[in-house]
Amino acid sequence: MGDIFDRGIDRGVINAEVDAYLEERGFAKDTMSPTYLDGVGYSELTIDKPCFRLTTDIDNYSTLTIYINTIDVYYELSTSYGSLLKSLKMTLRDYTIEAVSELLDEIWLQAERGI
């Protein structure tokens, strides 16, 4: 097949095992398109590249959105009325289920504490 055809094939976002793990936890395939960039410029993120995204309520007052692909892990914590509380770009060296799970736990704990 040609190069143009190959670009159209869905090869997943990270790897089959981690992609399935994230999908089982409610993440959806999307593109890296954060609402806020608190100190992180668009040039520092893989904007408009494939990623997994999850948006969930932390409590009645704040919402957490996580974007993850093979280059960036970025999350935003915002208030229910749309103001940014925190955003942070993180990096994973090892894209295994264990490493991704640990990072997601860390992000959740930070979001619960509002830090």
At 13, the pLDDT band (50, 70, 90 cuts) reads confident
pLDDT in tens, 43-86: 677 788 899 999 999 888 899 999 999 888 999 888 888 888 88
**What pLDDT, on a 0 to 100 scale, did the predictor assign at position 1?**
46
Residue 39 has which token pair? 């100190």
Q: For residue 54, what are the CA distances in angstroms to 2, 67, 80?
A: 34, 7, 16
pLDDT in tens, 92-104: 888 999 999 999 9
At 17, the pLDDT band (50, 70, 90 cuts) reads very high
CB 79 within 8 A of CB 71: no
Q: How many helices (H) and strands (E) does the chain have?
A: 3, 5
